[in-house]
Chains A and B, each alone.
Chain A
């Protein structure tokens, strides 16, 4: 099993991931396809940016009044014969679900995709107590039989190719004839479908997640593409919805608004194939549905987030767009992050779930390029939230002593301009001298990681500030040439800029002295200056 959190070994995980050709192939698919598809579907909807604003506002408003909406929602659920269970922690949630399953005499549980279920480890908990949970979403089913965490929040098995999946099916589906064709994706789907159909019919309890909980109606809503979620809610006698508190939205109309940005951001669909709204257990006139309807509403650290600087993260609708657009995710995939939530959203969420001491590497592993924030449908400022984790990690002295010492030394200098000037002036000249022959270094102490695969340009010589002041001091400002003398094929250009200002080589008689400037090489006469200034 590889289900234990490994966020604390992110750097090693990443190294392995970078060296895994099958994984890299799968990631290349995400990188080349998903951003382009999202772009196309977003470009086709002129009001998409306005929809994002509205999606952000709906979630922000709900979070600001979460207690009221939770109360209203609970009242509606109860009125309709459903039961609401509050779970402050993951352990509470697991215990409550197990109790419901036991009370129902359940031996097999069918499961729709639920990221909260992954977060609290519900499958392991049920297994430990003799209940067999079977994932019915194809991707979740695949990672379940492999004993893995999801590597993506909406495509849990995106790290695998179909040959790997075929091998897993042959290993686990004992009754599979050796010559059964599993070469195509369709064949794999049919194989999974046949196996899962038996589960749907035999399961005593169905557990699903929820994309939204609607306060106005007491409904839970899931959006799926496979239809497995529908079967999970309707066929078993007992339906348990596992949802975290931030899934609340005020009205069905709000939900519809969010679904429009969700599907486009997640899978570049205008709508997911199934949007399933479940409200309470089966009523007398209903043709089908469960006899019992439970919602286990999980806090697991969210109230603390709500009260602090990470509140914005609770707007997340788990679309996965930030993963699909993240260059770090594209390089290392989801498992490197070492917990169920990878990519930028995971870099913010995971430290709040397992602690910044264990997951501090995740918010560090970002260039803050901001592509995630640019596509997030609810406009979560992901880089800023990652920086908040860095603030906390720094305050707790978590970064390595070496990096802390380097930062402290640099900070000491940068806050003392006179000292900075002296030290950097000497340093750049020394490096310029060392790097003079090639203009770059193939290796430098302290930059070994960088220079293992890249060259590092050598400084040109004296610092800009030194040169600027020397030039200013070397004579009164004179009008400088508006043209470059012709017949000067190389001018100063062939000389490196060095510490001591040298006399310009005086290539032409008309060159004025005074403040020398770099001039272009081998360029014919040309006027200088902007062509137009209003």
Chain B
């Protein structure tokens, strides 16, 4: 085997704080693909500041991320949104800065969303995990439009034994999360996620997957408030066969019984 790729895992602040199991699943997938995974000390990619118009803070955080991640061969992110921030917006932040622009460009070029990296860079054609159930997949707007990620997660999911993937209607429509948008305009956001939840339910799937934890928290929150039985997970968890943590927004069962695998 060739010298393994040294990957810095940019785990994203949401995964770090809310759902570490996604980070472990991502690390496992990367290691299985022959990468040496490291998790350098990190906070956030700075997107909230960038999108709020606070360029100074966005820049300070971006400098931190660049400095920490530039030693790696690749930077892999289990989120299209944060990967898009580094790939597309860091070069924008440092445009015309002689010292920082080359560094920003270099890090941007080697940053990938997780499924994109596995398929496009590592050449992974399938995973060896099993999950029995009917799943549907939500494309995050940044994965889809900023990074052009559409086929990669589907290709990997198609190899999960026992998993039946049903396409969601209007998969190019935003779920209404939008970072701070869902707090600033909660009613509009709610209308958007309501439509998304209806589309999810209409597929008849019992599991919703996506590559971005922001979308997942939003849609899971709506589904659970509406009393839907659809469970929600990050795609990395299913791909890595790491579904022991309770699904998003659910508690572990009081009596330990298998909750996920339905024969």
The chain A residues found within 8 Å of chain B, CB to CB, are: 11, 14-15, 18, 327-328, 331-332, 364-371, 373-374, 384, 387, 389-395, 399, 403, 407-408, 410-411, 413-415, 417, 420-421, 424, 427-428, 436-440, 442, 446-447, 449-465, 467-469, 484, 489-497, 517-524, 526-534
Distance, CA A18 to CA B192, complexed state (A): 11
Please, how many angstroms separate the alpha-carbon atoms of A384 and B146 in the complex? 12
Neighbour of A518 across the interface among B24, B128, B161, B188, CB < 8 A: B24
B residues 208-258 in Cβ contact with A at 8 Å: 217-218, 220-222, 224-225, 241-246, 248-253, 256-258
Taking CB atoms and an 8 Å cut-off, the chain B residues in 7-33 that contact chain A are 11, 13, 15-25, 27-28, 32-33
Tell me the minimal C-beta distance from A358 to chain B in angstroms: 17
Query: Do B251 and A436 touch (CB < 8 A)?
Result: yes
Would B54 and A411 count as touching, CB distance under 8 A?
yes
* Residue B6 is within 8 A (CB to CB) of chain A in the complex: no
Contact of A521 among B46, B49, B191, B261 (CB under 8 A): B261
Contact B220–A457 (Cβ < 8 Å): yes
Q: Mark B47-61, 1 if CB is under 8 A from A, else 0.
A: 011111111010011
CB pair B125 A413 closer than 8 Å = no
Q: Within 8 Å of chain A (Cβ to Cβ): is B109?
A: no
A418 to chain B: closest residue by CB: B41
- B18: min CB distance to chain A, Å: 5
Would you call A327 and B173 a contact (CB within 8 A)? yes
Judge whether B53 and A522 touch: CB under 8 Å.
no
Tell me if A530 and B127 are in contact (CB < 8 A): yes
A260 to B193, CA, bound (A): 35
How far apart are the CA atoms of A440 and B225 in the complex, in Å?
10
- On whether the beta carbons of A415 and B129 are closer than 8 Å, the reply is no
**Neighbouring A residues of B183 by C-beta, 8 Å:** 446-447, 449-450
Complex Cα distance, B119 from A532, in Å, reads: 10
B71 in contact (CB, < 8 A): no
Please tell me if B133 contacts chain A, counting CB pairs below 8 Å. no
Question: In the complex the two chains form, what is the Cα distance from A532 to B127 in whole Å?
Answer: 9
The CA-CA distance from A327 to B174 in the complex, in Å, is 7
Distance, CA A442 to CA B249, complexed state (A): 10
A463 touches B17 (CB 8 A): yes
Query: Given A437-B251, A440-B224, A497-B20, do A410 and B141 touch, yes or no (CB 8 Å)?
Result: no
**Is B51 within 8 A of A387, CB to CB?**
yes
Are A461 and B241 neighbours in the complex by a CB distance under 8 Å? Answer: no
- Give the shortest distance, in Å, between B244 (CB) and chain A (any CB): 3
Residues of chain B with a CB closer than 8 A to A374's CB = 145, 172
What residue of chain B has the Cβ atom nearest to residue A492's Cβ? B244
CA distance A366 to B174 in the complex (A): 10
Contact B243 A370 (CB under 8 A): no
- How many pairs, one residue from A and one from B, have CB atoms within 8 Å of each other in the complex? 312
Q: Say if the beta carbon of B177 comes within 8 Å of chain A.
A: yes
* Interface-centre pick from A389, A399, A460 (highest chain B CB count, 10 A): A460
Cross-chain contact B193 with A454 (CB below 8 angstroms): yes
**Residue among A403, A453, A492 making CB contact with B186, cutoff 8 Å:** A453
Shortest C-beta distance, A325 to chain B (Å), equals 9
- CB-defined contacts of A364 to chain B, threshold 8 Å: 181, 184-185
> Do B11 and A369 have beta carbons less than 8 Å apart?
no
B70 within 8 A of A: no
Given A529-B32, A530-B33, 8 extra CB contacts under 8 A: A14-B188, A365-B184, A384-B92, A394-B53, A415-B64, A453-B190, A465-B41, A518-B244
23 A-B contacts, Cβ less than 8 Å apart?
A365-B185, A367-B178, A392-B53, A395-B53, A414-B13, A414-B57, A415-B61, A454-B218, A463-B16, A464-B11, A464-B39, A465-B16, A468-B24, A490-B258, A493-B256, A497-B21, A518-B21, A519-B244, A523-B129, A523-B130, A526-B128, A528-B128, A532-B124
Most A Cβ at <10 Å: residue of B53, B122, B183, B242:
B53
User: Closest residue of chain A to B181, judged by CB?
Assistant: A367
- Contact: B44 with A414, CB < 8 Å? yes
The answer on a CB contact under 8 Å between A14 and B187 is yes
B52 contacts A394, C-beta separation under 8 Å:
yes
Query: B18 and A414: CB pair below 8 A?
Result: no
> Could you tell me the distance between the alpha carbons of A20 and B126 in the complex, rounded to whole angstroms?
48
Docked-complex contact B221 and A456, CB < 8 angstroms = yes
Using known A-B contacts A456-B221, A520-B241, determine if residue A411 contacts B57 with beta carbons closer than 8 Å.
Answer: yes
A457 adjacent to B19 (CB under 8 Å): yes
Partner of B181, one of A366, A439, A491, A492: A366
Whether the Cβ atoms of A455 and B185 lie closer than 8 Å is no
| Shortest distance from the beta carbon of B231 to any chain A beta carbon, whole Å | 11
Say yes or no: A461-B20 contact (C-beta < 8 A), given A395-B53, A495-B252, A520-B241: yes
Provide the residues of chain B in CB contact with A528, threshold 8 Å.
32, 128-129, 241
In the bound complex, residues from chain B placing their C-beta under 8 Å from that of A518 are: 21, 24-25, 242, 244-245
Instruction: Tell me the smallest distance from the CB of A466 to a CB of chain B, in Å.
Output: 8
Residue from A408, A451, A484, A521 with most neighbouring chain B CB atoms (10 Å): A521
Decide: A424 near B16, CB < 8 A? Known: A493-B243, A530-B122, A530-B124: yes
A465 to B178, CA, bound (A): 25
The interface residues of chain B lying within 8 Å CB-to-CB of A393 are 53
Specify which chain B residues have a CB less than 8 angstroms from the CB of A494 in the assembled complex: 244, 252-253, 256-257, 259
Q: Which residues of B contact A460 (CB under 8 A)?
A: 18-21, 245
With contacts A407-B49, A417-B43, A533-B33 taken as known, whether A464 is within 8 angstroms of B243 at the C-beta atoms is no
Report chain A residues within 8 Å CB of B118.
530
Q: Mark B156-189, 1 if CB is under 8 A from A, else 0.
A: 0001010000000000111011111111111111
B17 close to A517 (CB less than 8 A):
no
Q: Establish whether residues A463 and B48, one from each chain, have CB atoms under 8 Å apart when the complex forms.
A: no
Q: Nearest CB to that of A15 among chain B residues?
A: B187
Q: Which residues of B contact A18 (CB under 8 A)?
A: 187-188, 191
**A414 and B43 form a contact (CB under 8 A):** yes
Q: Is the CB of B53 within 8 A of A391?
A: yes
Q: Is the CB of B53 within 8 A of A368?
A: no
Known: A369-B178, A417-B43, A490-B258. A531 touches B245 (CB 8 A): no
- The answer to whether residues A332 and B243 also contact, given A450-B221, A460-B18, A490-B256 and a CB cut-off of 8 A, is no
